[in-house]
Amino acid sequence: MHASHLTEQRFPEVVTFGESMALLIAEGGKGLEYANTLTPSFGGAESNVAIGLARLGHTSGWCGRLGDDPFGHRVIKAIRGEGVDVSRAQLTAEAPTGLMIRENVAGKSSVYYYRKLSAASRMRPEHLDEAYIAGAKILHVTGITPALSDSCAETAAAAMDLAKRHGVKVSFDPNLRLKLWDLEAARKVLLPLAMKADYFLPGLDELKLLYETESLEEILSRLNELPGVSVIKGGKDETYLFEHGKLTPVPYYKVDHVIDTVGAGDGFCAGFLSGLLRGYALEEAVRLGNLIGSQVIQAVGDWEGLPSAAEIDRLLSGVGHVER
């Protein structure tokens, strides 16, 4: 074997980056004001997607900046423990790891962010590893990262441009978070990023806000101006695939018990990207996204309910769970 083969680096199939935060969850169905116990975990849209892909048998990499503090070490170990490559993630002493705290009262989940001036908010384009992005098949970006700071918005755009330059497909979930920025600011940044995407993965409610219209016809006419394929999550009973002016509804998988809807969109993205990597037709990739999303909402947590490849194969082949 030639030496060059030995030194040749193997890069993950999907690369994503953004802010992963320490997460504290109020227990006992009490609001934060009265809860006595907070359970630690972590969360972040991009790392959720990377974990979902790793569980489905793909190679994925998550890049980002975390504080060189106990929370940062906890988060990076947990993501690595899920089989995601974190070789390009960085721990920095210049700022702390972001934190989110969640309460779930009477079935209604509320999130409180403590992420202003976090380590991730200081990401800059020069922190990106061009070879790492160039070696991927897909770059996955969300609209949460650009909401963190101007330098994060520049970094997201730069990452997409790097991917395009190297023929890497770009997947973009706008993930509109109005607790992080106002709608006008979000529009100015997210709509141009959508123009750079091969796969644009918005929710229907997000599109109504971004395009300032309730009309599906008007929304589709705007989506038709984008160069890529759009997948609209959050229809009443289906996800919509919109490709070259053609709208295809793909029905949801019905579940008996919805426990926690947090992370469903990230689960969908992981399933959809997995379908693309498996060589599925777009409609089948959307179907797989719907299936993964339906599994996530049956468990508590951002990423804990993401299924393995074996579980999905069992569901697809209709084999039930053998308890003993």
pLDDT in tens, 264-278: 889 999 999 999 999
For residue 9 the two structure tokens come to 């680096």
Place of tokens 């960085």: 90
DSSP for 4-55, written as a single string: HHHH-----SEEEE---EEEEEE-TT--TTT-S-EEEEEE-HHHHHHHHHHH
Per-residue pLDDT, averaged over 116-143, amounts to 97
- pLDDT of 159 higher than 90: yes
**In the predicted structure, residue 106 carries a pLDDT above the cut 90:** no
Mean pLDDT of 145-155: 97
Dist. CA 209–CA 67, nearest whole Å? 33
- What percent of the chain lies above the pLDDT cut of 90? 77
Please choose, from the candidates 294, 177, 287, 172, the residue with its C-alpha nearest in 3D space to the C-alpha of residue 240.
287
Q: What is the mean pLDDT of residues 105-124?
A: 91
Band of the pLDDT at 324, cuts 50, 70, 90? low
> pLDDT confidence of 315, banded at 50, 70, 90?
confident
pLDDT at 300: 64
Residue 268's contacts (CB-CB under 8 Å, 6 or more residues apart) are 201, 233, 239, 289, 290, 292, 293
Distances (CA, A) of 118 to 22, 32, 44, 142: 11, 22, 14, 18
What pLDDT sits at residue 284?
95
- Pair 123, 152: CB distance under 8 Å: yes
Provide the pLDDT for residue 79: 97
3, pLDDT greater than 50: no
- The mean-pLDDT minimum among 185-194, 209-218, 263-272, 293-302 falls in 293-302
pLDDT tens-digit profile of 64-82?
Answer: 999 999 999 999 999 999 9
Q: How confident is the model at residue 314 (pLDDT cuts 50, 70, 90)?
A: confident
Of the ranges 31-40, 174-183, 187-196, 298-307, which one carries the lowest mean pLDDT score? Answer: 298-307
Tokens of 300: 């508590």
Q: How confident is the model at residue 261 (pLDDT cuts 50, 70, 90)?
A: low
pLDDT band at 288; cut points 50, 70, 90: very high
Which one-letter DSSP state was computed for residue 244?
T
CA gap 51, 267 in Å, rounded: 9
Helix or strand (DSSP H, E) at 132: helix 130-134
Per annotation, catalytic residue among 85, 173, 266, 302: 266
Mean pLDDT, the chain, integer = 91
Q: List the end-to-end C-alpha distance of the chain, in Å, as a whole number.
A: 47
Q: Which residues pair with 140 in a beta bridge?
A: 16, 171
Q: Rounded to the nearest 5 degrees, what angle is found at the Cα of 16, between the Cα atoms of 42 and 44?
A: 20
Enumerate helices (H) and strands (E) in the chain, giving the number of each: 12, 14
Least confident span in 128-142, 244-258, 266-280: 244-258
The whole-number pLDDT of residue 295 equals: 82
Going by pLDDT thresholds of 50, 70 and 90, the confidence category of residue 259 is low
Average of per-residue pLDDT across 294-313: 76
| Annotation marks residue 256 as catalytic | no
Whole-angstrom CA distances from 66 to 40, 134, 147 are 16, 23, 17
DSSP 223: H
Least confident residue range of 53-57, 169-173, 231-235: 231-235
What percentage of the chain exceeds 70 in pLDDT? Answer: 91
Residue 10 — very low, low, confident or very high, per pLDDT cuts 50/70/90? confident
pLDDT band at 306 (very low <50, low <70, confident <90, very high): confident
